Amino acid sequence: MNRGGMRNYGPAGYLWELWHEGPVRDRENIVLVHGYRLPLSALPGRCDEQFGNLDRLLQATTDSNVWQFEYVGGPWGTYDSVAVYASRLGAALTRISEISGNSRCSMIGYSLGGLIARQYIAMGGKPNVDKLLTLATPHMGTLRFEPFSIPRTEHFYPRAGIEIRPDSRLLWDLNTNVESSSVNEFAALGGYSWGHSDGTIEMGSTSLVKCTADGSVTEKFYFAGVPRSHLNINRIKSDSDEVFQMIM
């Protein structure tokens, strides 16, 4: 289904969607993975462009195929687990490889999208990923998130909402073996518009380090903070945007 210049290369039935604007060429692929979706915030057949103008700016400045991956396939929002969405990401990357002739890519993950990208890498996708940049991703977890106000007795308690708690098994698995859930060219950006947080995620949680079994830090990945809120750090407006300059 087309929306303006955007075309969806995902499967029929909208289990997941893969949006791209313009011709697809045999060149580098950059995949944008969006953040948490609340119920009814993503409707099938619509590219919400959660990254603002980032896809167009990247295509214009890097000569790359830029894809927006929509992993939520229904009106219930981000209800499934991160592993389910990582599996869909794998299917999307296979589709990109078939279309472009290039099996490797770089990824930019916003908020939960960064954890989905890391889970995909941990599930065996590392050979396909050259670079990973995360924006306001809660690598160390957070409790300052709206779904936590939903009683756990509710039938529709979001699984991914549980998985971004600091004590979740997902984060334990990802962070006790960072080598298998990241790539050599990894960087993270976090916001501090609300002091030590971006209003939703604590800035300290958006960085990533490698630790030994006793908790000692052995390596720190590149990290930078910007005075942006959680709902604004991903909204790239122009090539002069400070976040875009860091991406480049």
| pLDDT tens, position by position, 99-119 | 999 999 999 999 999 999 999
Mean pLDDT on 145-162: 61
Of 50, 44, 51, 110, residue with least CA distance to 72:
44
Q: Are the C-beta atoms of 233 and 135 separated by less than 8 Å?
A: yes
> Residues with Cβ < 8 Å from 241, sequence gap 6 or more?
none
Retrieve residue 89's tokens: 């990401």
* Residue-level pLDDT at 38: 75
Q: Is the pLDDT of residue 212 over 80?
A: no
* Residue-level pLDDT at 215: 66
| Lowest mean pLDDT, pick from 84-93, 107-116, 134-143, 150-159 | 150-159
Mean pLDDT on 144-152: 57
* Residue-level pLDDT at 63: 86
* Residue-level pLDDT at 198: 85
Q: Give the span between the Cα atoms of 141 and 56, in whole angstroms.
A: 31
Q: Is the pLDDT of residue 174 over 90?
A: yes
For the stretch 6-48, pLDDT in tens is 899 999 887 899 999 989 988 899 999 999 887 766 666 666 6
The dihedral formed by the CA atoms of 45, 50, 54 and 60, expressed in degrees to the nearest 10: 10
| Lowest mean pLDDT, pick from 4-8, 95-99, 239-243 | 4-8
Residue 19 amino acid letter: W
* Residue-level pLDDT at 145: 64
Coil, strand, or helix at residue 192? coil
User: Residue with structure tokens 């959660």?
Assistant: 50
Of 157, 125, 142, 169, residue with least CA distance to 33:
125
CA 185 to chain centre: 16
Mean pLDDT on 156-180: 85
* Residue-level pLDDT at 140: 92
* Residue-level pLDDT at 73: 75
Task: Give the pLDDT band (50/70/90) at residue 1.
Answer: very low
Q: Give the span between the Cα atoms of 146 and 92, in whole angstroms.
A: 28
Name the DSSP class of 49: -
CA 233 to chain centre: 13
Q: Give the span between the Cα atoms of 30 and 59, in whole angstroms.
A: 9
Average model confidence (pLDDT) for the chain? 87
Share of the chain above pLDDT 90, in %: 54
Q: Give the span between the Cα atoms of 59 and 79, in whole angstroms.
A: 31
* 112, HSE (Cβ side, Cα atoms, 13 Å): 31
Q: Give the span between the Cα atoms of 53 and 239, in whole angstroms.
A: 9
